[in-house]
Amino acid sequence: MVFDKQIIAWSKKLTRYEIARVIGARALQLSLGAPPLINPKEAPVKDPIAISIVELLKGLLPMTIRRRKPDGTAELLPISKILSPDNRRYLETTLKSWALSKTT
Question: Which residues form the domain of 18?
Answer: 14-103
- Dist CA 77 CA 81 (whole Å): 7
- DSSP letter for 41, please: G
Residue 80 lies in a domain: yes
Contact (Cβ atoms closer than 8 angstroms) between residue 8 and residue 67: no
Residue 97 lies in a domain: yes
C-beta neighbour count of 89 within 10 angstroms:
10
Model pLDDT for residues 80-92, shown as the tens digit of each residue = 888 999 999 999 9
Prediction pTM value:
0.81
Rg from Cα positions in the chain? 15
Q: In total, how many domains does the chain have?
A: 1
CATH assignment of the domain containing 46: 3.90.940.10
The set of residues, in sequence order, having a beta carbon less than 8 Å from that of 78 and lying 6+ positions away, is: 62, 63, 64, 65
- DSSP letter for 35, please: P
Model pLDDT for residues 20-64, shown as the tens digit of each residue = 999 999 999 999 999 999 998 888 888 899 999 999 999 999 899
